[in-house]
Structures are given as C-alpha cells and as structure tokens.
C-alpha cells in the first residue's frame, strides 16, 4: 500500500537561465510538444544566490525570513521544509546533492566522513543522502561530479529504498556558465549533453511511478553572473511531468510556490510558514 498520495522527484540543475532551457534542451522541449511535459517560467528569490535559493526552494520562505544571505552563510535552517513535512506524513526521503542541502536540512557543519553518504531510516529529515562538496571549486577546476552518475545514484536510491520524495541537484551548468559564459559552444555542448543524459532517466522515473520536476535555482546573465534583480539572473524554466494541471502558460511562478506545491502533490499537509500558492491541481 502506498504511504503517500504520490511519489515525486525534484531535479534542480543549478544556474540555467530561461533562454538556455527553451533553446538547448531538446528532449525536454520535445516532451512539451508531445504533451508529456508542461513548462512554466519561475522566478528566484532575492538574493538570486545559490545557497539562498536552495533554502527558499525547500522551505518556501524568503532569504529575508530564513536568514541565509549567501554561500558563505550556510547553517541548519529552523523552518519546516519538504523533507521534514514529508517525514511527518510518513514518507521516505532521499537526496543526491551538494553538501549545502545536508547542512541546511539535516545537520551542520558538514563532516565529509560522517555525512558524505548516510542511510538513516529514523531521521526526521533526509533518510538516504549521497552528497558531494566540490571542495577546491574555481574557474580552472569545476570539481563537479558527472551528471549521469548523479542520475544513476538517485535511481539506485529510488529502487533500493522506495523513496516517496527525492531531490537531485547538480552544479555542472552553473560552473560552466561562470567559466565560459553563455554565447559559446562550450555552453551549447554542456546543455546538450545534460539533456541527453537526463532523458533516459526521466523515462525510467516515470515508469517507476514518479512525478518529475526539472528546474533550476536561478538563472545567469551574459557574464555568468547571478545574485541580483534581473530577468536573466532570476528566471528559469520549470518542467513538470505528471497528471496535474497548472496555471496559464504565460504565468510567471514564484520560487516560493515550489515547496507547498510538492507537499500537496505528495499528500502531505502544507505548514503555515509556506504561504506561496500551490500551482498544480488535479
Ligand atoms: Zn546556484
């Protein structure tokens, strides 16, 4: 018997602006054409900085409220989030992400030997975690894992532990944007390859009964920058694979709507702290 109403996987591809999604991700766009996927524009919180956005994606509250001001200020958040509320509702959670997600939602500081990989069935947060730190990251060395390996790891967790909710986060394209910017063949190729790597897994996750959301945390401008108020820095696509219907095509969604919407899809109560309107309905 199913523990929750539905199972859902959230795939966060870091730092991909709206224009790159719609121009370069041919498999995702093909599924929009075929009706398998629906796509909307979503706008990040401010600051449009990675850590601040991760915290808002999962708590549904602004950085002004959760307190994460940027990548140098990562701590265990106090707010209810998708992991905690899924656990309260009896679901099993998993994460294949940068270590910031473990620090925000489970425990901080990140101890690589203790926290790089854990299976904690009794956890009130992340039950099954597989993390990477990107230690040494910079413009001449991305230190990002291969995305195909991350997709395989999430699939393994789904098969082995029957996750109700799983999140995957990859920094590859954000790092490529900071290095090479956007009007270049390096970025064309990086987006093309990620689209080709994720496509067979989307087919597989759907066959396993998961609804799937593929999205970003923020965009990037022509110089690969993000953090401030700007359409290129803040706006990205959200692709949804599932049976629900959403708002009108031209609607721009808020990043704060994601957490309550995911909890609603799973069948978990939405906490009072998450005030963004749920955007998917049966
Ligand atoms: Zn980011």
122 CA from centroid of ligand 1 (Å): 30
- Exposure on the CB side of residue 20, measured as CA atoms within 13 A: 38
Helix 26-34 with 185-207: angle, nearest 10 deg:
50
Can you give the pTM of this predicted structure? 0.98
1 CA from centroid of ligand 1 (Å): 37
pLDDT in tens, the chain (282 residues): 578 999 999 999 999 999 999 999 999 999 999 999 999 999 999 999 999 999 999 999 999 999 999 999 999 999 999 999 999 999 999 999 999 999 999 999 999 999 999 999 999 999 999 999 999 999 999 999 999 999 999 999 999 999 999 999 999 999 999 999 999 999 999 999 999 999 999 999 999 999 999 999 999 999 999 999 999 999 999 999 999 999 999 999 999 999 999 999 999 999 999 999 999 999
d(CA 150, CA 26): 20
172 CA from centroid of ligand 1 (Å): 10
18 CA from centroid of ligand 1 (Å): 14
90 CA from centroid of ligand 1 (Å): 30
74 CA from centroid of ligand 1 (Å): 14
């Amino acid at each position: 018997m199913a523990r929750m109403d539905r199972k859902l996987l959230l795939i966060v591809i870091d730092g991909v602006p709206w224009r790159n999604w719609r121009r370069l991700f041919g498999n995702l766009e093909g599924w929009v054409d075929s009706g398998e996927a629906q796509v909307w524009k979503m706008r990040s919180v401010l600051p449009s900085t990675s850590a601040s956005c991760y915290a808002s994606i999962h708590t549904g509250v602004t950085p002004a409220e959760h307190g994460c001001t940027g990548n140098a200020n990562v701590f265990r958040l106090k707010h209810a989030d998708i992991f905690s509320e899924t656990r309260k509702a009896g679901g099993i959670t998993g994460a294949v992400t940068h270590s910031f997600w473990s620090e925000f939602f489970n425990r901080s500081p990140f101890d690589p030997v203790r926290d790089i990989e854990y299976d904690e069935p009794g956890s009130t947060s992340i039950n099954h975690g597989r993390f990477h730190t990107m230690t040494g990251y910079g413009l001449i060395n991305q230190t990002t894992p291969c995305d195909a390996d991350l997709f395989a790891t999430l699939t393994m967790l789904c098969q082995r532990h029957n996750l109700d909710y799983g999140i995957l986060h990859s920094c590859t394209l954000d790092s490529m944007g900071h290095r090479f910017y956007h009007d270049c063949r390096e970025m064309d190729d990086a987006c093309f390859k990620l689209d080709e790597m994720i496509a067979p897994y989307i087919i597989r996750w759907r066959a396993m009964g998961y609804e799937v959301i593929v999205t970003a945390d923020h965009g990037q401008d022509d110089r690969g920058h993000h953090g401030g108020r700007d359409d290129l820095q803040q706006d990205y696509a959200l692709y949804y694979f599932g049976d629900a219907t959403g708002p009108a095509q031209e609607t721009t969604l808020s990043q704060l709507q994601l957490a309550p919407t995911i909890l609603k899809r799973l069948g978990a109560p939405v906490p009072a702290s998450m005030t963004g309107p749920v955007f998917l309905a049966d």
